[in-house]
Chain A
Amino acid sequence: MADKTINVALLGNPNSGKTSLFNQLTGLNQKVGNFPGVTVDKKTGTAFLANGQKINILDLPGTYSLYAKSKDEQVVTDILTETEGKDYPDILIVTIDASNLRRNLLLLSQAIELGLPTILALNMVDLADRLGKGVTVSTLEEEYQIPVVPINARIGEGIEEIKNAIGSNIDLRERPFLDLTELVGPEISKKIHQPGQSPYLNLHQLLSTNEIDEEKAQSIQTKDTTLRYGKINRIVGKVEQPKEQKGIKVYTDKIDKVLTHKFWGYFIFISILFIIFQAIFSLASWPMDLIDKYVSGFSMWLGSTLPAGVLTDLLKDGIVPGVGGVLIFIPQIAILFAFIALLEESGYMSRVVFLMDKIMRKVGLNGKSVVPLISGVACAIPAIMATRNIENWKERLITIFVTPLISCSARLPVYSILIALVIPEETVLGFLNIQGLVLLGLYLLGFIAALLTAWLLKIVIKTKERSFLIMELPTYKRPRWKNVGLVIIEKVRTFTFEAGKIIVAISIVLWVLASYGPAKEMNAAEENVKASFTDTSYTQEEYNIKVAAYKLEHSYAAILGKSIEPIIKPLGFDWKIGIALVTSFAAREVFVGTMATLYSVQSGSDEITSLKSKMKNEVNPQTGKLVFSLPVGLSLMIFYAFAMQCMSTLAIVYRETKGWKWPILQTIYMSALAYVMAYIVFTLFN
């Protein structure tokens, strides 16, 4: 026994403190994966008992009953009833909220009949005491015939006792709770009463085979639940000892009066969103600049240290910036999830759902879609990761689909330079800056497009899963920093290792496209550039920039840019813009860098200003007109507002939807939308 790892599964209602117990048991020794085929987080971790015995702990999704009502809950039932499955546990720990005994005991009464050694972790005993509901542990132990361990998962009390209980030999007797023959009738009863396995486990296995018709199955479920509650009522009567109440409910009620108020509720919610948005923008910018600085510094150092060659180039221009492109998102992800974890932990997130559900439901979204959509203004990547807590698959998918339409911070540099280029710096009505208005308009356009798209998808996507909202509104609690910290670590880790590898792979491909071309042109680059200078009074730097521009203009990316020119011509774009569109796929802000290379701008503090003047004077050789006219500028802005030009977003959508179907559909939809809208704008203004 001692040399074999014990597999323990944690089962419990949502808000019963199951995750807190999991965190207390495992600490940092946890990882998050996925259950095969479904997008339900699979949290596993390890711990050691006092005698050195290693245990694996699986945190099952929160559920109220073994009769699953959603995909998450089905995972729980499947794991606990598939005895040959690889996640089938050796020991089951059921966490119970003592302040809400009756409802929590339903799940326990089902679980103890599955034939698994079971431990009851009785959480929130202190809260039950204050509510005037004393719980007698010994009576509970007698009634259920299992070890009962009182714990306080939030502060870590009773954790050693839980471990001791796991280590002790738990009695494995048949513990029938209900008379199953009375429940299912003699015919099915004969089928499930087989030697070797518990009859209730057999019943669940039988129900999963669809051998019993749906109507009969539903009536069994109803009857089962009702009969169990009947028995639980009697047990609760024996177990609960009335005590003096200390008025904790009133306190939650008072906070709710303000936080769900028709004015203050929304006011506070919008203020919180504003703070989150500001924090992602401003707090993240310092570490992001730092990462940027060190990554480019490192890449330059590599260039000067390693021998020149293809491998060095690949390393310093392809791989290192690719890894940097992954690291750069970490500050934003950490900050957003710090806030989200705080909102979840304190109980406020359920109030957000309460306030926003009706509005969001009109366009096929969920009350919980608000936070991802707003976070999308900073960056779509953490925003899409934040959709995890939307239980309904259709609503979650719609939120993921429309979030990249919200103008993120990477579009801002593109908007800035284009606005400065084509929109006059004038004011209307004496005080409204036109440039500012255009910028505001672009952001609004993103929001409107997201909501309209959501509404369209609501009609298009068919689902069998019914949208309902029946959830517990938890009491307010002080957040535990340990839980918040673990959420941040987990999200950063998930992003870095799962989306990160796709991002690095695509950056290498883009690097190859932008730095290689047909050998003839590439080899001739230096000669042709030298020939283009009429005198010899150029600096080494000017020369290098010209060579870089020449190479980019003849690279595979340029060939791609030229080949898409006929397609983008109706939008007013030339092949140089085409190159920028191709390279922008790494990240939208690359547009500025590509333009700078193409127009041979020296990098430095006045990069934007000098790039602006060069772009302004660029003349189309075919038409003799300025390239960046008002219609082209507007068309380009609209294109960037709608187009899916972010491989990191695609990578994260791939991860969150478990396949390429949705990222591909999203790219097609957004590109088509960008194309059509840019075309309309170009035609209107031309």
Chain B
Amino acid sequence: MSHSKTVANLKPGESGKICCFKDDKLALKFLDMGCLPGTEVKMKFSAPLGDPICISVDGYRLLLRVAEASTISLVE
């Protein structure tokens, strides 16, 4: 489970489909923000120092830290 691919593993331009969340508390926040299981996310770009990152989800841009991105597992 812990080796599954997460949003943090996406390279700029790559997309993936959300499968589930590893952190229950953050999951609630992500759900509020429209990141639902089955939703497609696209990695747009990362900050010059590699963290945080900008993803595109549900038609808007979402900014989050790598630590938080790594709690969103993607469908293999």
List, in ascending order, chain B residues with CB within 8 A of A470's CB. 26, 29-30, 33, 62-64, 68
User: Which A residues lie within 8 Å of B64 (CB)?
Assistant: 468-471
Contacts of A261 in B (CB 8 A): 48
**Cβ of B58 < 8 Å from any Cβ of A?**
yes
When the two chains form the complex, which single residue of B28, B29, B52 contacts A357, counting CB atoms closer than 8 Å? B52
User: With A and B bound together, what is the CA distance between A355 and B52 in angstroms?
Assistant: 8
Q: Which of B29, B59, B61, B63 contacts A353 (CB 8 A)?
A: B63
Contact B48 A260 (CB under 8 A): yes
**Is B19 at the interface (CB under 8 A from chain A)?**
no
Q: Are A355 and B47 in contact (CB under 8 A)?
A: yes
Q: Which residue of A lies closest to B31 (CB)?
A: A225
Asked whether A472 is an interface residue with its Cβ less than 8 Å from the other chain, the reply is: yes
Q: How large is the interface on A (under 10, 10 to 19, 20 to 34, 35 or more residues)?
A: 35 or more
List CB contacts (< 8 Å) of B7-51 with chain A.
24-34, 36, 44-45, 47-51
Contact A67 B28 (CB under 8 A): yes
Q: How far is B64's CA from A398's CA once the two chains are assembled, in angstroms?
A: 22
Q: How far is the CA of A218 from the CA of B28 in the complex (A)?
A: 8
Least CB distance, B64 to chain A, in whole angstroms: 5
Contact of A466 with B58 at beta-carbon distance under 8 Å, contacts A225-B31, A473-B63 already known: no
Chain A residue contacts of B30, Cβ below 8 A: 470
Q: A260-B47, A261-B48, A358-B50 are in contact. Are A472 and B61 (CB under 8 A)?
A: yes
Contacts of B34 in A (CB 8 A): 102-103, 106, 229
Given contacts A69-B28, A222-B31, A354-B47, whether A99 and B52 have CB atoms under 8 Å apart is no
Give chain B residues whose Cβ lies under 8 Å from the Cβ of A469: 52, 63-65, 68
**For A354, what are the chain B residues with a Cβ–Cβ distance below 8 Å?**
47, 52, 54, 63
CA distance A372 to B32 in the complex (A): 30
Is A235 an interface residue when CB atoms closer than 8 A count as contact? no
Question: How far, in angstroms, from A69 to B34 measured CA to CA in the complex?
Answer: 15
Q: Does A131 touch B at the CB level, under 8 Å?
A: yes
Shortest CB-to-CB span from B37 to chain A, Å, is 8
Taken residue by residue from 458 to 485, chain A's Cβ proximity to chain B (1 for < 8 Å, 0 otherwise) reads as: 0000000010111111110000000000
Which chain B residue has the least Cβ–Cβ distance from A100? B60
Residues of A within 8 A of B51 (CB): 357-358
A357 touches B32 (CB 8 A): no
Assuming the contacts A358-B47, A470-B68, asked whether A222 and B27 have C-beta atoms less than 8 A apart, the reply is: yes
**How far is A471 from B60 in the complex, measured between Cα atoms in Å?**
11
Note all chain A residues with C-beta closer than 8 A to B48: 260-262, 265-266, 355
With a cutoff of 8 Å between Cβ atoms, the chain B residues found around residue A64 in the complex are 32-33
Which A89-111 residues sit within 8 Å CB-CB of chain B?
99-100, 102-103, 106
Report A355-383 CB contacts with B as 1/0, cut-off 8 Å. Answer: 10111000000000000000000000000
* A218 and B36 within 8 A (CB): no
CA distance A646 to B42 in the complex (A): 50
Is the Cβ of B36 less than 8 Å from the Cβ of A226? yes
Cβ-defined contact, B45 with A256, below 8 A: yes
Q: Which secondary structure dominates where chain B touches chain A? A: mixed
Residue in A103, A253, A350 whose Cβ sees the most chain B Cβ within 10 Å = A103
A102-B58 contact, Cβ under 8 Å, with A261-B48, A353-B63: yes
Nearest B residue to A105 via CB reads: B34
Chain B residue nearest in CB terms to A469: B65
Q: B60 — which chain A residues lie within 8 A by C-beta?
A: 100, 103, 472-473
Contact B29 A69 (CB under 8 A): yes
How far is A474 from B44 in the complex, measured between Cα atoms in Å?
Answer: 14
Residue of A nearest to B59 (CB): A100
A64 to B34, CA, bound (A): 9
* Cα–Cα, bound, A222→B21 (Å): 11
CB distance from B28 to the nearest CB of A (A): 6
| A65 on interface, CB distance cutoff 8 Å | yes
State whether A472 and B63 are in contact (beta carbons under 8 Å apart), knowing that A67-B28, A358-B52 are contacts in the complex. yes
- For residue A257, which residue of chain B has the nearest CB? B45
Within 8 Å CB of A494, what residues of B?
A: none
Task: Check B28 against A358 for contact (C-beta < 8 Å).
Answer: no
Q: Is A221 an interface residue when CB atoms closer than 8 A count as contact?
A: yes
A106 x B32 contact (CB < 8 A): yes
Q: Report Cα–Cα, A253/B54, bound state, in Å.
A: 11
Chain A residues within 8 Å of B26, by CB = 468, 470
CB distance from A302 to the nearest CB of B (A): 55
In the assembled complex, the CB of B19 is this many whole angstroms from the nearest CB of chain A, namely 14
List A contacts of B25 (CB < 8 A).
218, 466
Q: A222 to B35, alpha carbons, bound, how many Å?
A: 12
Cβ of B53 to closest chain A Cβ, rounded Å:
9
A470 to B41, CA, bound (A): 14
Q: Which of A229, A256, A472, A473 contacts B36 (CB 8 A)?
A: A229
Contact with B along A277-321 (1 / 0, CB 8 A): 000000000000000000000000000000000000000000000
Q: List 24 A-B contacts (CB under 8 A).
A: A64-B33, A67-B32, A102-B59, A103-B32, A106-B32, A131-B59, A222-B24, A222-B28, A225-B31, A226-B36, A260-B47, A260-B48, A354-B63, A355-B48, A357-B52, A359-B49, A468-B64, A468-B65, A469-B63, A470-B26, A471-B63, A472-B62, A473-B60, A473-B62
Given contacts A103-B58, A354-B63, 4 further A-B contacts (CB under 8 A): A357-B47, A358-B52, A468-B65, A471-B62
- Rank and list the top 3 A-B pairs by shortest CB-CB distance, nearest first: A262-B48, A103-B34, A473-B61
